[in-house]
Amino acid sequence: MSPPPSESAASTIGGHSESGPAANVSFDAELARAGANVNSRWGMALFLAKRYPLGGVGLAIVTLFILVAVFAPLITGHDPLATNPSISLAKPAAAHLMGTDFMGRDLFSRVIYGARTSLAVAFGATLLGVVFGVLIGLASGYLGGWVDLTTQRVIDMLQALPTLILAMAMAAALGPSLTNTIIAIAIPKLPSIARVIRASTLSLREMPFVEAARAMGMSEMRIALRHILPNTLAPLIVLATAGLGSAILVEASLSFLGLGVPEPHPSWGRMLSESAAEYVRTAPWLVIFPGLAITFAVFGTNLLGDALRDILDPRQRTSN
């Protein structure tokens, strides 16, 4: 897919105009605002970054976290799991940039490796939630009837519970492990994703281009995959990115409560719970750095999610 060449876009819009020359005055400005003169991928990226600066910041933060998670061993020389009682609770210094915890583990490397856990859980849960949410939503909206009725009732029940409570219940039931944490966080995501997909499926199902596909003899399955699903992508991407931040937060909360990712994976939430009560006065860095990591990760993903929503799905925009 290549972006429209500016000329054809201009003539298209010009062709529609019925209001005469007066309406043409701001055309160029409007087209530029709408990105009509952008004609390369990089041009598009630059245009979007200019139009949505906060989204650019969010993207930068998220990219940074991904890079940190991927290249963690290259960033820090310390083993995040190696204990050394002799330097327990060392202050931040050149050797240990963020100090050490009560077992003498290097906090910097634990925060860096914590990004791995955090992102693995956030992306894993989002992916899982999206795959199953989409399947449920598509089936519900497309098949209708009793399939729709039953799933709607189950979804209502799931949605009646707050995300964290539901995730806690799931995590407690499944037992602590990385996979179970991912599942526990994915389940509360299902209702909202299934809802959005169902709603757009319901409206898309009646679209003339879907009727045209049916009229040419296309099977319902193929219609769902070729004509319905691709057109639900925009709200789906919006919802998925918007959910990344909350997934990170829920993981931290679960781990804080001891229901989340178990040892030996370093988790920001657990780092907080290990040190919050006892050391917050004597060794505040143990709380500050993991806390900052959580804050920035959530902040970045939320900024990105908001910008993506504005770009892909302007109807969801709240007035501001």
Partner 1 sequence: MPDGANDMNANVPVLDVRNLKKHFPVRKGLLRKVAGHVYAVDGVSFSIARGQTLGLVGESGCGKSTVARAVIRLIEPTSGEVRILGRDILSLSKDELRESRRQAQIIFQDPFSSLNPRMSAGEIVGEPLLVHGIGNKKEREERVAALFDRVGLRASQMGSLPHQFSGGQRQRIGIARALALDPQLIIGDEPVSALDVSIQAQVINLLMDLQAEKNLSYLFIAHDLAVVEHISHRVAVMYLGRVVEHAETRALFSSPQHPYTEALLSAVPVPNPRLKRQKRLVQGDVPSPINPPPGCHFHTRCPYATEQCKVEVPPLVEVAPDHWAACHLRKPLVAVV
Can residue 27 be called a binding residue for partner 1 (CB under 8 A)? no
Shortest distance, position 126 Cβ to partner 1, whole Å: 23
> Is the Cβ–Cβ distance between 104 and 84 less than 8 Å?
yes
Can residue 213 be called a binding residue for partner 1 (CB under 8 A)? yes
**Applying CB under 8 A, which of residues 75, 214, 262, 299 lies at the interface with partner 1?**
214
Within residues 250-289, the interface with partner 1 by CB under 8 A covers none
Can residue 51 be called a binding residue for partner 1 (CB under 8 A)? no
**Tokens describing residue 187:** 């389940």
> Is the Cβ–Cβ distance between 100 and 107 less than 8 Å?
yes
Shortest distance, position 312 Cβ to partner 1, whole Å: 12
**Applying CB under 8 A, which of residues 9, 48, 194, 287 lies at the interface with partner 1?**
9
Can residue 211 be called a binding residue for partner 1 (CB under 8 A)? yes
Shortest distance, position 310 Cβ to partner 1, whole Å: 19
Of 319, 320, 311, 316, the C-alpha closest to 35 is: 311
**Applying CB under 8 A, which of residues 22, 25, 94, 215 lies at the interface with partner 1?**
215
Can residue 153 be called a binding residue for partner 1 (CB under 8 A)? no
CB closer to partner 1 out of 91 and 153 = 153
Can residue 227 be called a binding residue for partner 1 (CB under 8 A)? yes
Would you call 72 helix, strand, or coil by DSSP? Answer: helix
CB closer to partner 1 out of 11 and 295 = 11
- How far apart, in Å, are the Cα atoms of 264 and each of 70, 80, 99, 177? 18, 9, 19, 10
- How far apart, in Å, are the Cα atoms of 70 and each of 117, 195, 294? 11, 33, 17
State the burial class of residue 202 (Cβ atoms within 10 Å of its Cβ: 0-12, 13-18, 19+): middle
Can residue 216 be called a binding residue for partner 1 (CB under 8 A)? yes
- Classify residue 91 by its DSSP letter: P
CB closer to partner 1 out of 16 and 281 = 16
Angle at 312 between CA 226 and CA 229, to 5 degrees: 15
- Classify residue 257 by its DSSP letter: T
Shortest distance, position 24 Cβ to partner 1, whole Å: 16
CB closer to partner 1 out of 6 and 84 = 6
Can residue 315 be called a binding residue for partner 1 (CB under 8 A)? no
Strands, DSSP E only, in 110-224? Answer: none
Distance in angstroms (rounded) separating the CA atoms of residues 182 and 31: 44
Can residue 6 be called a binding residue for partner 1 (CB under 8 A)? no
**Tokens describing residue 266:** 């370093």
Contact positions vs partner 1 (CB under 8 A):
1-2, 4, 8-9, 11-12, 15-16, 18, 207-209, 211-219, 222, 227, 230-231
